Structure 1
């Protein structure tokens, strides 16, 4: 029986989920199921392919199985993937895991970054959430995908990026009751200190973690770098999400005795251990 006519966003998310479950499906079948023309379906598939959710081939849509590939690729794996394609699928997987931690009614702060942006489509089924952002480029993206309360921090637009920073942005975070904050972590200095490429961003990270009930760091790679401005220790996060083979990189995290592995299903979630 065909699905009820959804809006284009909801239809696209349903198509992505259907292709994921079936492995592949014909354009004509999707057209009948959703009650729209094959031209509309092809436009949907083109969009989803660009987002990395699926691939198109000879009138069919196929699940992008690269989404299930472990993050660490060695010579022994004998797997050939372009770095760009792998990065996209890696980020989508991280975004999906992060979005799954949001609960109905949550007020969340979303920091800047490409993984954060990819979280947005996975939040469509969440009810009564409120989002605080400081990345102006994410605002239009949220307006396309979500129907929820959105608040933009004040602040000064940082040179070379789309983020609002400074005392006003930090004050905006302090005035909110934030259930969860999600921050991308790109660089880690010695002693497990998260580094940012801008001093005001470093202060914002520290404020967001300090004034959130639950702080989640999203790590796409575990690479150490002496560069950048120190923001906050990894120990201050409540949870860390890593798209890595833990057996290959656990030495970088295991020294954080305050964390324990919660799950390992492609993405590994480290939860802070309660001392009480």
Structure 2
């Protein structure tokens, strides 16, 4: 059954109210939103299924959001997600000119950028993911270097002090980084602290920084900060984000430019 926009908006507001108070009764919510207690219980059932809160004895208690949860967006199947990530990557690649030095941070969306750079000439790529290096060798004729660093068991991504130092001493025209979420101060988050430290080094070394993300979640610091929205040049995401996330962008100087296929590009006014 489809849910109306007004219901989605109310549910988001319920989450915010419960988050602020910690616990709210069904009766209070019914009065605040001027709807029946039956409607509120339906809302709470949905939000509990989405792991935003738990219900107990006629009350709702807040749960911290988990990466991947989004009350406003339906859960996308793998094909839909792949299509959106590829479209984000295609638009991100448009920012790359010939003869540029690039840092490609780890992440599925960033990885998808590489094939779209096949027609660029004289690029210099620094990558921290061995899988990305293999993709670059397949699609691009370019100077290619790995950051070096530590490989965790079962991972193809290099992190640690050596990787951070390698990135910090480079001259980088443009770095692409991938966010898993952001907090209410506009800080961009990465789930892996070691990865976030490499991202921080890349952002500081680069002349320009573009962040990509698929449905980044607004949460209370569920991850490690690697940048602030005010510090980057552009953010490319799909349109499955909630109003509070949208509201953050203009406060950080990012202007919305809607792209085709439901992709949102936020750019600094000077970019």
Q: Give the structure 2 partner of residue 244 of structure 1.
A: 239
Query: For the Cα contact (< 8 Å) 1:173–1:207, is it kept in 2?
Result: yes
> Does residue 1:134 correspond to 2:166, yes or no?
no
| Aligned-residue offset at 1:141 | 1.4
Q: Name the CA distance, whole Å, in 1 between partners of 2:76 and 2:218.
A: 23
Q: 1:177 aligns with which of 156, 171, 179?
A: 171
RMSD of Structure 2 on Structure 1 (CA) = 2.6
Give the TM-score normalised by structure 1. Answer: 0.65
Task: Tell whether the 8 Å contact from 2:121 to 2:141 is kept in structure 1 after alignment.
Answer: no
Shift of 1:111: 0.7
Structure 1 outlier segments of 4+, above 4 Å: 245-250
* Inter-CA distance 233–160: structure 2 relative to 1 (3 Å threshold): farther
Tell me the CA shift for residue 221 of structure 1.
Answer: 0.8
Q: How does 1:14-53 map to 2 (within 5 A)?
A: none
* Superposition pairs of residues 1-276 of structure 1, within 5 angstroms: 83-226=77-220, 227-244=222-239, 251-265=246-260, 266-274=262-270
Give ranges in structure 1 of 5+ residues lacking alignment. 1-72, 76-80
CA distance in 2, matches of 1:255, 1:160: 40
Structure 1 stretch displaced more, 140-149 or 87-96:
140-149
For residues 225 and 249 of structure 2, the distance between their equivalents in structure 1, rounded to whole angstroms, comes to 21
Aligned equivalents of 1:108 and 1:204: distance in 2?
Answer: 14
Q: In 2 relative to 1, CA 205–122 (structure 1 residues): closer, same or farther, beyond 3 Å?
A: same
Decide whether the 8 Å contact of 1:246 with 1:268 is kept in 2: no
TM-score w.r.t. length of structure 2: 0.66
Match of 1:16 in 2: none
